Structure 1
Amino acid sequence: MRLSLLDRSRTRAGEPDAAALRGTVERAVAAERLGYGRFWVAEHHGVPGIAGAAPAVLLAAVAGRTTTIRLGSAGVMLPHHQPLVVAEQFATLTAFAPGRVDLGLGRSPGFTPPVRRALREAERDFAADLAELRAHLDGTAEITMHPRPAGDVPMWVLATGRGLEVAAALGLPVVVGGPLLGVAGDPEPGRQALARYRRAYRPSEQAPEPEVAISLDVLVADTAAEAADLLLPEAWAMAQARTTGVFPPLEPVAAVEAAPMTAVQRRHAERTAATAVAGTASQVAARLAELAERTGATELVAAGSTHDRTALAASDAALAGLLA
């Protein structure tokens, strides 16, 4: 599998949001040095634990500090935007990183009802918006967009069940994660969904064959216990989000271990940890090999995060060495 990183610009307790954004850029620079093929950033709005709200702007900052690594959005949430505006933003980005830009697109709603109202969310036809966006990028729309892209801008779909159907009909590669991977549950529904995607796939100029990338949290440490500790800050944040409605900044491992946790929160934290791939290099290698064989994936999008930036950098380096 090709190897890439997804960084959501996770905030840390006691740090300003700007530190998370600067940390994303520095992580991208390190990823290029380590040999990662692609660096993805995300889009979230009104979430205390995530500073990554403007993928095109953040990728422009990354483009200014890198020269070879591909740059992708994972993703731009298309219901929040007009297709023309997204096309213009990513065509502009190609002026600074020609031949390196990938446009991943999803349709997740805003995190809370107030955020959805602020985004003016409305019912949209995701497939129609994808087709319109592609027409703007390839020059077949009813208007000629400017700037014109400096090279192709490959599109990806961040896919669930319905998203897989849309991607197959439009001939687009997909990034899948969560329940579709069956990491902590039954793998058969995901296997069947991917088989349907491949059977229904309609070849396109961009992608003559179906292509699947898998995305999940991956963390590597010297021991399994250390890797489990790395998972704690994200698992605790997810537990709080599911029980309080607030997705908070990452806290240090010691603070998480000392935090009063209800039985319900503990179960949520354990479920989150179970959906990750974490452990020693050999343990992680075995689990990734099984996932690659089961899904037929061509790319691993490693999305792990933890409070300790030094430990995260060491994990990134170990993972790069593992798949080199």
Structure 2
Amino acid sequence: MRFGLSGTLGGLEAHGADAIVGHARRVERLGFESVWFNEEHFNQPNGSRVRPVLSPIVLAAAVAAATTTLRLGFSVLLVPLHHPLRLAEEIATLDVLSAGRVNFGVSRANGERYRIPFGYDEERDPGLRQCLDQILAYWSGSAIEVGGVSYTMSPITVQQPHPPIYVGAYSRQTLTWAAERGYPIIAHGIQAPASLHRSLATFAERGGDVGAVPVGRFCYVAESDRQAREDVWSVVCQLADRLRRIGLTRKGDLITTEEDLEPERFYRETAIVGGPDTVASRIAELRDRYGLGRINLLSSFFGYLPAQLLDSSLELFAGEVMPRFARQGLEV
């Protein structure tokens, strides 16, 4: 299996924005395959904890310059908030600078919190599918006509015909479209088990390759199950409360429920927390049930996990969990 980290700062939020590049080098040395950056914007001026937010493409470029094998994913970029030509150019540039290490995760822009400040006009929005088709056309060398003169986009992506595309999707319609186009979906760690099952089952029914889907899970490893609970129980309670307050539906597509966010249930069923044996067993259960080949750890628990605990968890995951899958003849 391949293991990555996912979050606003690539799953390393606990260390703060100024430390991400150095810690990206460290997770590369530990054997993680990828880091995935979320596109988020703004901090709410309500006196609550400040969560660092950086431009994901700029951050990915900084990490690319500091690493050699770590793949740079986006989980996800909100494509309708970007001009398709500009986004195509920036992702192609990142692919060149990273020597072909980009995973292009995309989704539509949900929620007025982003749409209104970015001048989003729903009546003029071509939608995710058309925007993505435009980007692919630019990457393929399709002509851009300006004043009777024909141009083609530069640079050309290193990965041909284009970087791998992943689609953030919850609705049956988008899951079906992604499967039919051959795009793996991205399953986010906020999804309760029932929502994750629905997404993966729908995607598979429509011909999608579930083995290529990065499945996100909040994950923490300690020396024992008892120590893990002692370390992160308060973190889980804070996170569950946060998820409850922001609401987790996408136009009626259920992601989780109030019952799923009850802290004890969230701890046992949605998050993967425990000693190495427990964590490896839970991941193996997901792999065997769905045929998974990729897991993305939401290792910072949205930044609630203290840095020292994050470091120890990643060390234990790399040293005690990943090798168990390698010994089974699976790629790590």
Q: Report if TM-score (shorter chain) is over 0.5.
A: yes
Aligned mates of 1:315, 1:302 — CA distance in 2: 11
Aligned mate of 2:157, from 141, 149, 166 = 149
- The secondary structure found in structure 1 opposite 2:245 is helix
Q: Aligned to 2:139, which of 137, 140, 145?
A: 137
Correspondence for 2:201? 192
Asked if 1:288 corresponds to 2:289, the answer is no
Please give the per-residue CA displacement for 1:40-75, whole angstroms capped at 9, x wherever unaligned.
111101135543341110001111211111111111
Read off the aligned partner of 1:32 and give its amino acid letter: E
2:37–2:76 Cα contact (<8 Å) kept: yes
Q: What is the distance in 2 between the residues matched to 1:281 and 1:315? A: 10
Displacement after TM superposition at 1:238 (Å): 4.6
- Give the alignment of 1:1-324 within 5 angstroms: 1-9=1-9, 20-47=16-43, 49-110=50-111, 113-123=112-122, 124=125, 125-140=127-142, 142=144, 144-152=152-160, 153-161=163-171, 162-178=173-189, 182-183=192-193, 185=194, 189-198=198-207, 211-228=212-229, 229-230=231-232, 232-233=234-235, 235-240=237-242, 242-243=244-245, 268-270=262-264, 272-273=266-267, 274-305=269-300, 306-321=304-319, 322-324=321-323
Aligned to 1:251: none
Q: TM-score, normalised to structure 2's length?
A: 0.76
Distance, in Å, in 1 between the alignment partners of 2:4 and 2:29 is 12
Residue 158 of structure 2 aligns to which amino acid in structure 1? A
Deviations 1:96-153 (A, max 9, x none): 211111111122424xx35431022233322222222222223236452122223342
Kindly tell me: are residues 244 and 216 of structure 1, through their superposed partners in 2, closer, same or farther at Cα, counting changes over 3 Å? closer
Is the Cα contact below 8 Å between 1:71 and 1:100 reproduced in 2? yes
Note the C-alpha offset of 1:188.
Answer: 5.1
Query: Any idea what SS the aligned residue of 1:167 has?
Result: helix
Shift of 1:5: 1.0
4+ runs of 1 displaced by more than 6 Å? none
Partners of 1:265 and 1:235 in 2: how far apart?
13
CA distance in 1, matches of 2:190, 2:244: 17
How far 1:177 sits from its partner (Å)? Answer: 3.0
CA gap 1:265/1:294 in 2 versus in 1, 3 angstroms: closer
SS at 2:155 equivalent? coil
What secondary structure sits across from 1:294 in the alignment? helix
- Distance in 2 (CA, whole Å) between partners of 1:29 and 1:178 is 24
Give the Cα separation in 2 of the matches to 1:244 and 1:215.
19
Q: Is the 8 A contact 2:78 2:106 kept in 1?
A: yes
Aligned partner letter, 1:88: E
Give me the CA root mean square deviation: 2.9
1:196-251 deviations in Å (ceiling 9; x for gaps)? 2326x8xxxxxxx9732211111111122432332533641451463389xxxxxx
CA distance in 1, matches of 2:292, 2:143: 32
Structure 2: stretches of 5+ with no match in the other structure? 45-49, 145-150, 248-257, 324-332
Q: CA deviation at 1:26?
A: 2.8
Call closer, same or farther: CA 1:317–1:138 in 2, change over 3 Å: farther
Unaligned runs of 5+ in 1: 13-18, 202-208, 246-263
Query: Aligned equivalents of 2:158 and 2:186: distance in 1?
Result: 24
CA 1:315–1:83 in structure 2 vs 1: closer, same or farther (change >3 Å)? Answer: same
Percent of pairs identical after alignment? 29
Letter in 2 for 1:51: P
Letter of the structure 1 residue corresponding to residue 105 of structure 2: G
Q: TM-score, normalised by structure 1?
A: 0.78
Say which SS state the counterpart of residue 284 (structure 2) adopts: helix
- 2:260–2:266 Cα contact (<8 Å) kept: no
Q: Is the 8 A contact 1:41 1:52 kept in 2?
A: no
Query: Residue in 2 aligned with 1:16?
Result: none
Q: Confirm or deny: 8 A CA contact 2:77 2:107 kept in the other structure.
A: yes
SS in 2 for 1:95: helix
Matched positions, count: 288
Of 135-144 and 159-168, the range deviating more from structure 2: 135-144
